[in-house]
């Protein structure tokens, strides 16, 4: 358990919902409204049917945990930051899916989520949950995963330049899927070595492991 100087709570899993779902169930009350953000899966050649199936499966999991879950597509808020802020005020938490972290970062910038994040952190009891891209985005930089996720994938018309800065909650990299039965584990191992070579601070997470941050 980590001490949290912010009011927001974090449930950060390496892959999917991890091994601490009973803890997740207790972090916010049953019936809480949680929005599922799937924009990390908007990469240019993504299969829309598979993307929808993925989101529906995770919405069902959130429902099974006792939450009232709904999709939240940041594309609906591109250029509408105030509208997104009003929407977030109606929620008790968000769940951010894995996928391409660089694509997720673009969606966060175009919707203004990145600017709203600091204020969101101050909300007492608000839950930020997610895995893979959903936790890599919280680091100071996306340089740690340059060879795992494609930094040059630009699915949105308003974005054509790689954004390297993360949301800066952590002043180091978090590398999920480390030493795990995951198709990205080998590439993550290479990123770990690159961090060591460059003397970059980092933390690894194996699939199943979860970082929980609460008051």
Catalytic residues: 132, 177
Give the separation between CA 136 and CA 147, rounded to whole angstroms: 13
3-state secondary structure the chain: CEECCCCCEEEEECCCCCCCHHHHHHHCCCCCEEEEECHHHCCCCCCHHHHHHHHHHHHHHHHHCCCEEEECCHHHHCCCHHHHHHHHHCCCEEEECCCCHHHHHHHHHHHCHHHHHHHHHCCCCCEEEEECHHHHCCECECHHHCCCCCCCCCCCCCCCCCCCECCCCECCEEECCCCCCCCCHHHHHHHHHHHHHHCCCEEECCCCCEEEEEC
Give the separation between CA 34 and CA 70, rounded to whole angstroms: 7
């Amino acid at each position: 358990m980590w001490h949290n100087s912010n009011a927001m709570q974090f449930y950060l899993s390496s892959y999917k919902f991890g091994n601490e779902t009973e803890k997740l169930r207790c972090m916010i009350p049953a019936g809480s409204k949680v929005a599922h953000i799937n924009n990390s899966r908007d990469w240019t050649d993504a299969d829309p049917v598979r993307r929808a199936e993925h989101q529906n499966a995770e919405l069902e999991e959130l429902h099974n945990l006792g939450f009232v879950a709904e999709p939240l597509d940041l594309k609906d808020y591109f250029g509408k930051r105030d509208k997104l802020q009003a929407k977030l005020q109606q929620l008790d938490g968000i769940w951010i899916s894995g996928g391409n972290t660089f694509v997720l970062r673009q969606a966060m910038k175009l919707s203004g989520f990145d600017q709203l994040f600091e204020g969101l952190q101050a909300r007492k009891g608000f839950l930020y949950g997610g895995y893979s891209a959903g936790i890599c985005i919280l680091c100071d930089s996306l340089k740690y995963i340059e060879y795992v996720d494609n930094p040059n994938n630009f699915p949105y018309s308003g974005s054509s330049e790689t954004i390297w800065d993360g949301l800066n909650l952590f002043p180091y990299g978090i590398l999920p899927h480390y030493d795990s039965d995951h198709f990205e584990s080998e590439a993550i191992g290479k990123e770990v070595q690159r961090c060591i070579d460059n003397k970059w601070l980092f933390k690894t997470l194996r699939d199943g492991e979860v970082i929980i941050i609460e008051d």
